[in-house]
Amino acid sequence: MSNDWVVWLNGKIVPETQALVPIRDRGFKYGDGAFDTTRTFSHRIFKLDEHLDRFYRSLNYLQIDPGVSRETIMQATEEVAAHNLKNVGADEDIWLTQRVTRGMDPADKERWPDYPERTVIVESRPLPLRERGRLYRDGIKIMTSSVRRPPPDTMSPRAKTHNYLNLILAELEVKARDPEAWPCLLDTNGNLAEGKGSNLFVVKDGALLTPKERYVLPGVSRQTTIDLARDAGMTVEEADLDVFDAVNADEVFITSTSFCICPVSSVNGAAIGDGSVPGPVTKQLIDAYVDYVDCDWYGQYLKHSN
């Protein structure tokens, strides 16, 4: 990335390299904050309303008052996008992330009297097209971890918070076993939950099954895929799924903001279906997603697969 990227920090556009947050900020000390991330397709922001709705639900769950209106965050996102999209090619796109932390404790705030009551950030970065292109050609290898996703009666996974340690520990464990594998956490009942920033789908006999929303972050891309599948006449169900269901599925894929839909080639070393990547249902949904956003993001990734 060049030095031309900017950040919206507490009401001002500043160069990313000058966007500084106090070391006493609770977001830094405790992960006490919420965030959300969308992306662009052909330089157009995708479902910003839906992402901001989820963002404000997370803030409400954490009882954090952002101190700024939803409209202000939306305008800041559009402003950051307009500037930073100049730093990528016409055939590339960016992530856009909104963040709010609880700010500083009162005792710390006394030493920073001019700092706002909380930290509000909108930032962006280029999508990792080159790093992930081969995954669309070869499929993603998924492995489950011994680290479990916390149950809703401890900390709801439906809130997108700054505290990612649960997901990070699972990723570290999986990467130690296979550096090319991606983690999928189970819930405390042994059912498939989600990956680090991704939702999981299995295809069996033409129907789509996905873990229940109560146990996962309900992704905007997850819902988009569900809507596209139902529009195509497919059956979609939320269900308790375990590793047995995944390894015996006809197809498996993940969804996320950046991936959209990406095929899974194996789960815990077991090849999925007949080994074709993507499978026919996954490819049908990829094509529908491409048409829906009017951007060939699938070809965009494949172009960088070598």
CATH at 170: 3.20.10.10
Residue 20 sits in the same domain as residue 140: no
Task: Tell me: do 182 and 272 sit in the same domain.
Answer: yes
- Residues 139 and 68 grouped into a single domain: no
Residues 186 and 121 in one domain: no
Spatial distance between the Cα atoms of 164 and 184, rounded to a whole number of angstroms: 14
- Residue 16 covered by a domain: yes
Residues 69 and 118 in one domain: yes
Same domain, 118 and 174: no
> Does 232 map to a domain?
yes
Q: Global pTM?
A: 0.95
| Boundary residue ending a domain (127, 161, 191) | 127
Our count of domains for the chain comes to: 2
Q: Count CB-CB contacts under 10 A for residue 116.
A: 15
Residues in the chain, overall count: 306
Indicate the pairing of strand 199-204 with strand 260-267: unpaired
Specify which residues 300 forms β-bridges with: none
State the pLDDT at residue 3.
66
pLDDT at 280: 97
Q: According to the model, what pLDDT value does residue 2 have? A: 59
Domain ranges, residue 243: 132-302
Distance (Å, rounded) from C-alpha 85 to C-alpha 111?
37
172 contact partners, CB below 8 Å, separation of at least 6: none
Question: Which domain-ending residue is among 127, 146, 172?
Answer: 127
The crossing angle, in degrees rounded to 10, of helices 48-62 and 70-84 is 130
Please tell me whether residues 110 and 195 are part of one structural domain: no
Return the residue matching tokens 């949904």: 285
Give the domain CATH number at 54: 3.30.470.10
Q: Which two tokens stand for residue 172?
A: 């570290």
Note whether residue 112 is domain-resident: yes
Closest CA to 261 of 208, 191, 186, 192: 208
Tokens of residue 175, six digits: 């990467």
pLDDT digits (tens, 9 = 90+) for 163-210: 999 999 999 999 999 999 999 999 999 999 999 999 999 999 999 999
Q: Is residue 1 part of a domain?
A: no
141 and 235 in a single domain? The answer is yes
Question: Rounded distance, CA 306 to CA 289, Å?
Answer: 23
pLDDT of the chain along its 306 residues, tens only? 556 999 999 999 999 999 999 999 999 999 999 999 999 999 999 999 999 999 999 999 999 999 999 999 999 999 999 999 999 999 999 999 999 999 999 999 888 888 999 999 999 999 999 999 999 999 999 999 999 999 999 999 999 999 999 999 999 999 999 999 999 999 999 999 999 999 999 999 999 999 999 999 999 999 999 999 999 999 999 999 999 999 999 999 999 999 999 999 999 999 999 989 999 999 999 999 999 999 999 999 999 877
Based on the domain organization, do 116 and 145 belong to the same domain?
no
Does residue 117 form part of some domain?
A: yes
Strands (E) in the chain, as ranges, are 6-9, 12-15, 33-41, 44-45, 94-101, 119-126, 140-148, 181-186, 192-194, 199-204, 207-210, 236-238, 251-256, 260-267, 270-271
Cα dihedral sign for 259, 261, 265, 267? positive
> Would 154 be classed as within a structural domain?
yes
Residue 70 to residues 49, 55, 82, 119, 129, Cα–Cα distance (Å): 9, 10, 18, 15, 30
Distances (CA, A) of 136 to 5, 71, 108: 28, 36, 48
72: which strand partners? none
Residues 123 and 158 grouped into a single domain: no
Together in a domain, 118 and 148 = no
Q: In this structure, are 26 and 106 located in the same domain?
A: yes
Please identify, among 127, 142, 171, the residue that sits at the C-terminal boundary of a domain. Answer: 127
